[in-house]
Amino acid sequence: MDKNAKIYVAGHRGMVGGAITRNLKSSGYNNIIARSSSELDLRNQQSVRDFFEKERPEYVFLAAAKVGGILANNTFRADFLYENLMIESNVIKAAFDFKVKKLIFLGSSCIYPKMAPQPLKEEYLLTGLLEQTNEPYAIAKIAGIKLCETFRDQYGANFISVMPTNLYGLGDNYHPEHSHVLPALIRRFHEAKENNLPSVTIWGTGTPKREFLYSEDLAEACIYLMLNYEEKELINIGTGEDLSIKELAELVKETVGYKGELVFDPTKPDGTPRKLMDVSKLNGLGWKHHTSLAEGLKKAYKDFLETAVLAER
């Protein structure tokens, strides 16, 4: 990938796309193109085709998606399935038609069966039932993986798929209802501290285990794979380490400086019991994460204070 190559980052205003864009720029890539959702609706096939025909990108990072936590996924089921299918279908087909040299599609660890053996190996895809709360989102992401595979099979397109674990970091979504678990905890503990609340209630039992990767590490991994991975099979991106939601809540509580109590609500859904990625394939290619969860949380909380809190004042 030449430093002057024309690179399109779809979803550059999101946490992942923003991290990829920053990493590309700091690495000396100086011909990055991007469009906000108001400038280019990726759900609209003709708009996407017009964009590709005009800009002719050589490389594509497909990080654009409709995303959210358990509540959002379970509430807006049709939206999550339809919009993600449209986004990935339009971009992948246009990338093929307008002769993009290489495309990297970002999926999600929720593509794996709910009760798959741990840690999650790439070959576990489509071996069992999905977690019900985020099934529509997972089905859309699986369709994206298969689109990349079949365009490679039928036409020889150099399209690869990567499956990140749970992510957090700069520019995260801290919406009180529609965010993922880690940014949601940051907001709730911060607000509890500010309002001197005696306790914070956490959904579920606190026993499910989750793995978390700092968004800047993910960006580095994506660019590494764009440069070094050419295979049809999807590849996991994660840390290979996990912790329980209770342990996560304790760590966020400590990071934020909240002194109250933790209360767990077992009437709320836990989601998948465990989602730990097997990253031996990625590590074998020569890449490993380097930001610890404790270090990344401090950076994320600082970002929350500088962006979300200030924006609401």
Domain with residue 279: its CATH number is 3.40.50.720
**Does 67 appear as a known binding residue?**
no
Catalytic residue of the set 8, 59, 112, 137: 137
pLDDT of residue 240: 96
Asked whether residue 285 is assigned to any structural domain, the reply reads: yes
Could you report the per-residue pLDDT of 235-274, keeping only the tens digit for each? 999 999 999 999 999 999 999 999 999 999 999 988 778 8
Position 124 pLDDT exceeds 70: yes
Indicate the SS3 state at residue 84.
Answer: helix
Asked whether residue 297 is assigned to any structural domain, the reply reads: no
Q: Would you place residue 37 in the very low, low, confident or very high pLDDT band (cuts 50, 70, 90)?
A: very high
Asked whether residue 313 is assigned to any structural domain, the reply reads: no
Q: What is the rounded distance in angstroms from the CA atom of residue 278 to the CA atom of residue 120?
A: 5
Asked whether residue 25 is assigned to any structural domain, the reply reads: yes
Whether residue 214 lies in the annotated active site: no
pTM listed for this prediction: 0.93
**Does 238 appear as a known binding residue?**
no
**Does 169 appear as a known binding residue?**
no
Position 149 pLDDT exceeds 80: yes
Position 177 pLDDT exceeds 80: no
Q: By residue range, what is the domain housing residue 24?
A: 7-168+212-241+274-291
87: buried, middle or exposed (CB in 10 Å: 19+, 13-18, 0-12)?
buried
Q: Sign of the C-alpha dihedral, residues 139, 143, 149, 153? A: positive
Phi, psi dihedrals of residue 231, rounded to the nearest 5°: -90, 160
Asked whether residue 199 is assigned to any structural domain, the reply reads: no
**Does 15 appear as a known binding residue?**
yes
Total tally of structural domains belonging to the chain = 1
Asked whether residue 201 is assigned to any structural domain, the reply reads: no
pLDDT of residue 232: 96
Asked whether residue 174 is assigned to any structural domain, the reply reads: no
**Does 277 appear as a known binding residue?**
no
Asked whether residue 207 is assigned to any structural domain, the reply reads: no
Most confident stretch, 75-79, 107-111, 131-135, 143-147 = 143-147
